[in-house]
Amino acid sequence: MLYYLSSLESVWGPFRLFHYITFRAGGAFITAFLFVLFVIPPFLPFFREHCIQKSPRMDDQAEKPKTPLMGGVFIVAAIVVAALLWGRITERTLIIFVLTTIALAILGMEDDIIKTRYLRSERDGVKERTKMIVQAAVSVVALYLLYKTSGTVTMKVYFPFSPQPFQFLPGSESVSVMVPYRTSLLFSMPLWTMPICLLIMLGFNYGVLAGTSNGVNLTDGKDGLAAGCMFIAALAFSVIAYLNGHSVFAEYLGIPYVPQAGEIGIFACAIAGACLGFLWHNSYPASIIMGDTGSLALGGALAMIAIMLGQQLLLPIIGFVFLLETVSVALQRISFKLRHGKRIFLRAPIHHHFELKGIPDNKIIMGFWIVATLCAMIGLATLKLR
Task: Return the HEC string of the chain.
Answer: CHHHHHHHCCCCHHHHHHHCHHHHHHHHHHHHHHHHHHHHHHHHHHHHHHCECCCCCCHHHCCCCCCECCCHHHHHHHHHHHHHHHCCCCCHHHHHHHHHHHHHHHHHHHHHHHHHHCCCCCCCCCCHHHHHHHHHHHHHHHHHHHHCCCCCCCCEEECCCCCCEEEEEECCCEEEEECCCCCCCCEEEEHHHHHHHHHHHHHHHHHHHHHHHHHHHHHCCCCCHHHHHHHHHHHHHHHHHHHHCCHHHHHHHCCCCCCCHHHHHHHHHHHHHHHHHHHHHHCCCCCCCCHHHHHHHHHHHHHHHHHHCCCHHHHHHHCHHHHHHHHHHHHHHHHHHHCCCCCCCCCCCHHHHHHHCCCCHHHHHHHHHHHHHHHHHHHHHHHHCC
The bridge status of strand 165-170 relative to strand 187-190 is unpaired
Q: Return the percentage of the chain with pLDDT > 90, whole number.
A: 45
pLDDT reported for residue 197 = 85
Backbone angles phi, psi at 171, to 5 degrees: -120, -165
The bridge status of strand 156-158 relative to strand 187-190 is unpaired
* Minimum mean pLDDT range among 70-79, 126-135, 186-195, 368-377: 186-195
Q: How far apart are the first and last CA of the chain?
A: 36
- Mean pLDDT, range 84-94, rounded to an integer: 87
Backbone angles phi, psi at 107, to 5 degrees: -60, -45
Q: Return the percentage of the chain with pLDDT > 70, whole number.
A: 97
- Mean pLDDT, range 146-157, rounded to an integer: 79
List, for residues 246-305, the tens digit of each pLDDT value. Answer: 889 888 888 888 888 888 999 999 999 999 999 999 988 889 999 899 999 999 999 999
Nearest of 39, 75, 69, 66 to residue 51 by alpha carbon? 69
Rounded CA-CA distance 284/202 in Å is: 39
Nearest of 59, 50, 64 to residue 112 by alpha carbon? 50
pLDDT reported for residue 103 = 94
Nearest of 73, 81, 110 to residue 98 by alpha carbon? 81
pLDDT reported for residue 368 = 95
Nearest of 141, 115, 361 to residue 217 by alpha carbon? 115
Contacts with 56 (C-beta within 8 Å, 6 or more apart), sequence order? 62, 64, 66
pLDDT reported for residue 62 = 46
With beta carbons less than 8 A apart as the criterion, state whether 307 and 248 touch: no
pLDDT reported for residue 295 = 93
- Mean pLDDT, range 229-244, rounded to an integer: 95
State pTM to two decimals: 0.92
- Mean pLDDT, range 212-230, rounded to an integer: 92
List, for residues 45-86, the tens digit of each pLDDT value. Answer: 999 888 888 776 554 444 455 889 899 999 999 999 999 999
Rounded CA-CA distance 342/331 in Å is: 11
